[in-house]
């Protein structure tokens, strides 16, 4: 007998809790210098379900389980035709939601203009973290390429069934696990002053986008290399300095997501799932501090946490509590930060390849936040770095959010220009 349900993982439920403060979906936009084949894209989407069965399920909010459905590619891929002279609706479509109780957990919009196409992919964050989402995008592009070359291509990829934290924990000894569980971790709370002066408007989802082009981003990477810090340290420094300027908060604490796949064994594949924890950056910033002063604090903290296994403690505790406590009890123990940051990393141009069709732009954005919650997201494609923030915003909120991204870029530009 075929099971009608798929197992819900603790990470799935953790991300379900986030729906209280945001529309919890990850979003990716790709602009092409040409046209995609709609038929090949739909066939690729149908094959994608074989590799990631969860995207063809619905989430039952009463029993908290995934229920299998028989969604077709037409329910996943949506064609939008734009005539010459009409506004491209891609960024508005990128802010689309999914009814996780009755729709596929992924939406793909193919926006066709007379001379080029845009692809928008939205996925329920419960299904996957940012790294898993990129793996899904690579698989979609690979399946598209195969379907484009072979009209009869029908090889269904096999799913990687294990979505649990256990696939990583099995690589640790019992003693290592005990050491992590009983380790002391410093988890400072965010200051109440670290809240942007936003009013919010739930009927107005807004996407702010700021690009750091190749030439300037090359200088940022060069500075990072010469000063033995990471590019992420520099991005985080710019963000925290701007938060200080806007909120006047001196003690800034922000969670920084870390991909737990660093604990996988050599050759191990984890697939499309959630395997993310957080480092915590907590620093003091004063008006007289230089960028280098802040960067030094952040780099030292990040390096220390990268050398520790403490980031596993939270997920391990969540994993234990999920299996011994009722669902709502776990929710009450879960704390959601108001102000946050995420670096979704590099979209690999070699893996993200739709049968060689030229891509002129690609970036990933994250959840549309409800005020006062706020996040800046970063992703990189073809050596162009894109800063984004999604929020339900008033017109004045939009100016504040766009200013945050602009000032982040200015902080970085002023630093590398002085070199």
CATH at residue 107: 3.30.559.10
Q: Does position 332 have pLDDT exceeding 80, yes or no? A: no
Binned at pLDDT 50, 70 and 90, residue 20 comes out as confident
- Report pLDDT for 186: 74
In a domain, 400, yes or no: yes
Asked if residue 157 belongs to a domain, the reply is: no
What pLDDT does residue 1 have?
Answer: 36
Q: Answer whether residue 335 is part of any domain.
A: yes
340 shares a domain with 197:
yes
Reported as a pLDDT band with limits 50, 70 and 90, residue 329 is confident
Confidence label for 340 from pLDDT (cuts 50, 70 and 90): very high
Are both 327 and 410 inside the same structural domain? Answer: yes
- Measured CA to CA, the distance from residue 317 to residue 327 in angstroms comes to 14
Q: Count of alpha carbons within 13 Å of 347, Cβ hemisphere only?
A: 29
For the stretch 96-127, pLDDT in tens is 999 999 999 999 999 999 999 999 999 999 99
Instruction: Looking at the structure, tell me whether residues 196 and 123 fall in a common domain.
Output: no
Asked if 137 and 193 sit in the same domain, the reply is no
- Digit-coded pLDDT (tens) for 283-319: 999 999 999 999 999 999 999 999 999 999 999 998 9
- pLDDT of residue 71 exceeding 60, the answer is yes
Distance CA 173, CA 47 (A): 38
Q: Do residue 81 and residue 27 come from a single domain?
A: yes
| pLDDT reported for residue 324 | 87
What SS3 state is found at 263? Answer: helix
- Any idea of the CA torsion for 218, 358, 150, 136, to the nearest 10 degrees? 40
pLDDT tens profile 134-189: 999 999 999 999 999 998 899 999 888 889 999 999 999 999 999 999 888 777 88
Shared-domain flag, residues 111 and 38: yes
Question: What is Dmax (Cα atoms) for the chain?
Answer: 68
Same domain, 240 and 143: no
Among residues 123, 149, 175, the one where a domain terminates is 149
* Per-state percent for the chain, helix, strand, coil, to nearest 5: 40, 25, 35
d(CA 35, CA 26): 24
Domain assignment present for 181: no
Q: Are residues 107 and 224 in the same domain?
A: no
**Total tally of structural domains belonging to the chain:** 2
Over residues 59-66, the mean pLDDT reads 90
What is the C-alpha to C-alpha distance for residues 128 and 139, in angstroms, rounded to an integer?
Answer: 14
pLDDT exceeds 60 at position 333: yes
| CATH number, position 298 | 3.30.559.30
Does residue 354 lie within any of the structural domains?
Answer: no
DSSP code, position 156:
P
Quick one: 295 and 393 in the same domain?
A: yes
Residues 87 and 227 both lie in one domain: no
CB within 8 Å of 53: residues ≥ 6 apart: 6, 68, 159
Q: Would 177 be classed as within a structural domain? A: no
Q: How far apart are CA 201 and CA 368, in angstroms?
A: 11
- Tell whether the model's pLDDT for residue 16 goes beyond 90: no
Q: Identify whether 159 is part of a domain.
A: no
Q: What is the pLDDT of residue 3?
A: 56
Confidence of residue 387 (pLDDT cuts 50, 70, 90): very high
DSSP three-state, residue 287: coil
Domain-located, residue 359 = no
Task: Provide mean pLDDT across the span 203-215.
Answer: 95
**Res. 2 pLDDT band, cuts 50 70 90:** very low
Mean per-residue pLDDT for 403-417? 95
Each residue's pLDDT tens digit, 36-52? 999 999 999 999 999 99
- Is the pLDDT score of 417 beyond 50? yes
Both 96 and 237 in one domain: the answer is no
Q: What percent of the chain has pLDDT over 70?
A: 99
| Average pLDDT of span 224-249 | 96
Q: What is the pLDDT of residue 336?
A: 83
Burial (CB < 10 A; 0-12, 13-18, 19+), residue 175, is exposed
pLDDT level of residue 204 (50, 70, 90 thresholds) = very high
> Going along 244-336, which residue ranges are E strands?
251-259, 276-284
Give percent above pLDDT 90 in the chain: 78
**How many Å apart are CA 223 and CA 229, to the nearest integer?**
8
Q: Average pLDDT, whole number, for the chain?
A: 93
By residue range, what is the domain housing residue 272? Answer: 189-346+367-417
Is 91:62 a contact under the CB 8 Å cutoff?
no
Query: CA separation (Å) from 97 to 59, 92, 209, 403?
Result: 15, 11, 19, 26
């Amino acid at each position: 007998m075929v099971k009608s349900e798929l197992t819900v993982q603790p990470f799935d439920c953790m991300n379900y809790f986030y729906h209280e403060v945001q529309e919890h979906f990850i979003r990716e936009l790709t602009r092409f210098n040409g046209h995609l084949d709609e038929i090949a894209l739909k066939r690729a989407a149908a094959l994608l379900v074989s590799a990631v069965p969860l995207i063809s399920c619905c989430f039952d909010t009463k029993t908290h389980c995934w229920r299998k459905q028989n969604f077709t590619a037409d329910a996943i891929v949506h064609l939008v035709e734009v005539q010459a002279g009409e506004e491209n609706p891609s960024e508005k479509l990128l802010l689309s939601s999914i009814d996780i109780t009755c729709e596929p957990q992924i939406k793909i919009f193919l926006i066709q203009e007379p001379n080029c196409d845009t692809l928008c992919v939205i996925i329920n964050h419960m299904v996957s973290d940012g790294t898993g989402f990129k793996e899904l995008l690579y698989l979609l592009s690979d399946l598209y390429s195969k379907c484009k070359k072979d009209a009869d291509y029908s090889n269904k990829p096999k799913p990687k069934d294990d979505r649990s934290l256990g696939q990583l924990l099995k690589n640790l000894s019992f003693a290592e696990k005990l050491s992590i569980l009983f380790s002391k971790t410093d988890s400072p709370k965010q200051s109440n002053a670290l809240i942007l002066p936003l009013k919010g408007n739930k009927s107005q989802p807004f996407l702010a986008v700021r690009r750091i082009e190749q030439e300037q981003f090359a200088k940022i990477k060069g500075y990072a290399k010469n000063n033995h810090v990471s590019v992420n340290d520099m991005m985080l420094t710019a963000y925290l300095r701007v938060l200080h300027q806007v909120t006047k908060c001196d003690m800034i604490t922000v969670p920084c997501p870390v991909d737990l796949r660093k604990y996988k064994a050599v050759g191990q594949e984890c697939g499309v799932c959630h395997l993310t924890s957080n480092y915590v950056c907590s620093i003091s910033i004063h008006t007289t501090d230089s960028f280098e002063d802040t960067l030094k604090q952040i780099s030292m903290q990040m390096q220390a946490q990268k050398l520790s296994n403490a980031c596993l403690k939270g997920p391990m505790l969540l994993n234990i509590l999920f299996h011994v406590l009722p669902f709502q009890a776990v929710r009450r123990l879960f704390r959601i930060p108001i102000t946050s940051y995420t670096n979704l990393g590099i979209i690999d141009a070699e893996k993200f390849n739709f049968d060689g069709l030229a891509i002129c732009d690609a970036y990933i954005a994250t959840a549309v936040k409800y005020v006062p919650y706020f996040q800046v997201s970063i992703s990189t494609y073809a050596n162009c770095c894109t800063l984004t923030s999604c929020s339900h915003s008033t017109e004045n909120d939009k100016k504040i959010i766009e200013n945050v991204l602009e000032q982040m870029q200015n902080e970085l530009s002023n630093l590398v220009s002085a070199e």
